[in-house]
Amino acid sequence: MSSLLMAFSSAKLSRTCRNSVGFRVTESGFPSFLPKEVEKIKDPYAIKLAQRIERLPVKISFAENSILSSCVKPSVQNEKHPLVLLHGFDSSCLEWRYTYPLLEEAGMETWAVDILGWGFSDLSIRPPCNVTSKREHLFQLWKSYIRRPMILVGPSLGAAVAIDFALNHPEAVEKLVLIGASVHTEGTGKLSTLPKIIAYAGVSLLKSVPLRLYANYLGFSGISFNSAVDWTNASQRKAFGLMILDARGRIQIGRLHCLLPWWEDATVDFMISGGYNVCQQIQQIKQETLIIWGENDQIISNTLAMRLNTELQNSTLHQIPNAGHLPHVEKPDSISELIVNFVQEGKITEKESVYNL
């Protein structure tokens, strides 16, 4: 992680108001619109990225007023296609806390954007957060601020967001990067038929610490609560304690956006709308695509990585050893290297699968 520290220490980070909206910054350097619990975060990479989050006004057709939309803007600009990093289901741009600085250090013009309904945007007007709304919001943000064909990066459900967007707005997407792609499910399924009162009860569980702890167990490689710990062995006790502390830190970061007052409404709206169903759209994607998968992904099987590689017209697959569902959190050096090479290299000439990095 030493390269991460170097990257962040060299980044030009401002603690003053950073856009025309004029949001305030706290004494700790965090934008004032973040939940106050951000002050409890200890992870230095999460702290640095959180301090850079800002809100940009995005005008959309389904609301009278612009939505103040949260993102991290690039500190560098160049002539290459900009990178736009999405996130997974019920997450935020903080998902990129380890990989983002490495991409900037490599000279990439990099945005980290919160998908409408999640992250830290101001949704006090309670806009619809269905697939169509998410797509329009991302397009209007791109049209207003990015304005050039981008390399769109989507992890987990963010991959479905990316595929849906690329198919509907091909002029905005130069290439795709799909990480642990959740693209073969048929939307939210039976959840879309739940009565609202039950849907709200279910959604409230999403931010509970026990459920987030279990999600960490599934999402990351090397975490096991089934392993026997020899409590007479000091090194094993210490290792187990560090593992729990690490998981608690990830939970703190991962549920921060859930503490905003509109989070439950936005998530329920998405669930009952039916969600993303892009299974039949995959083969229509023409953009060159990099597929990245953690070899130890316990959430989405590696067999679906190979299936996706065969379905896409122009793709290459890299599997990351000793990584789970979120390799950009676990293996930031590997992921940043893959993405940078993909941005800089020429067109893929044949199907390729790489299982070692």
Rounded distance, CA 214 to CA 29, Å? Answer: 32
In a domain, 1, yes or no: no
**Mean pLDDT, residues 229-251:** 53
At what angle are helices 196-206 and 263-273 packed, to 10 degrees? 120
**Per residue in 129-182, pLDDT tens?**
999 999 999 999 999 999 999 999 999 999 999 999 999 999 999 999 999 999
The pLDDT confidence band at residue 21, using thresholds 50, 70 and 90, is low
In a domain, 128, yes or no: yes
In a domain, 355, yes or no: no
**336 in active site:** no
Assign 114 to helix, strand or coil: coil
**Per residue in 97-134, pLDDT tens?**
999 999 999 999 999 999 999 999 999 999 999 999 99
Among the listed residues 325, 328, 334, 336, the single catalytic one is 325
Measured between alpha carbons, how far is residue 193 from residues 131, 133, 202 in Å? 16, 20, 13
Among the listed residues 156, 182, 273, 334, the single catalytic one is 156
Overall number of domains in the chain: 1
Residue 199's domain spans which residues? 36-345
Residue 238 pLDDT: 44
Count of helix runs (H) and strand runs (E) in the chain: 12, 9
Domain CATH number, residue 119: 3.40.50.1820
Higher model confidence: residue 22 or residue 10? 22
Residue 141 pLDDT: 98
In a domain, 77, yes or no: yes
| Residue 41 contacts residue 50 (beta carbons within 8 Å) | yes
In a domain, 203, yes or no: yes
Among the listed residues 90, 121, 297, 315, the single catalytic one is 297
**Which backbone phi and psi does 99 adopt, to 5 degrees?**
-85, -35
Q: CA torsion angle for 170, 172, 174, 175 (degrees, to 10)? A: -80
Residue 206 pLDDT: 74
Residue 244 pLDDT: 46
In a domain, 118, yes or no: yes
Higher model confidence: residue 230 or residue 88? 88
**Mean pLDDT, residues 6-32:** 58
The string of DSSP letters for 69-103 reads EEEE--S---SSPPEEE---TT--GGGGTTTHHHH
In a domain, 97, yes or no: yes
Which range among 18-27, 185-194, 202-211 shows the weakest confidence by mean pLDDT?
Answer: 18-27
Strands 288-294, 53-58: pairing kind: unpaired
**297 in active site:** yes
**265 in active site:** no
Q: End-to-end alpha-carbon separation of the chain, Å?
A: 17
In a domain, 149, yes or no: yes
